[in-house]
Amino acid sequence: MKRLNFENYLTTIKNSCGTNMFRNLYILDDQGQKIDVMENGNLSCAIFVTSILSQFKKIDGRHATVEGTIKALQKYNWQKNNNQNLEIGDIIIWDIPKDKSYNHLHIGFYIGNTLAVSNSSENGFPIAHHYTFNNSRDILETYRTNWFDEEI
């Protein structure tokens, strides 16, 4: 028998929509104050993506920023690819929105048929949406890796 890793990866991404699992990440600051750096789901895109990738051993743990996630993807030999040639399972990095409503990069997964899954700041949990946010965000980079099934 074989475990179908890529199929499980895609199913995990799709089933994550609407979950509150990725809303919070607590730290203690230098003054000993507990802080939720994800702001109750407002800034959870990188935690969402890296939680799934680390579950499938495709990255070295959870990261709280898009920039840290990009470094980890590169460390784990994810290949930067042509943004116009998206494939199911690719990681998408979006630029700052054209209307400047947010001042940070965004990250999520491409699931096919012009759809992506990423954390929604408005909802505080992952949602499926058009992969260009209906042309409101440009794709900055995309990444892809190889997937192998495992004997079990």
pLDDT digits (tens, 9 = 90+) for 80-104: 997 778 999 999 999 988 787 778 8
Does residue 1 lie in a domain region?
Answer: no
Domain count, the chain: 1
Instruction: Note whether residue 31 is domain-resident.
Output: yes
Residue 2 lies in a domain: no
Whole-prediction pTM: 0.93
What gap in Å lies between CA 22 and CA 140, rounded to an integer?
23
- 66: how many CB neighbours lie within 10 A of its CB? 21
Q: What gap in Å lies between CA 90 and CA 114, rounded to an integer?
A: 12
Q: Is residue 40, in this structure, part of any structural domain at all?
A: yes
Q: Which domain holds residue 66?
A: 7-147
Condensed to tens digits (0 to 9), the pLDDT of residues 14-32 reads: 999 999 999 999 999 999 9
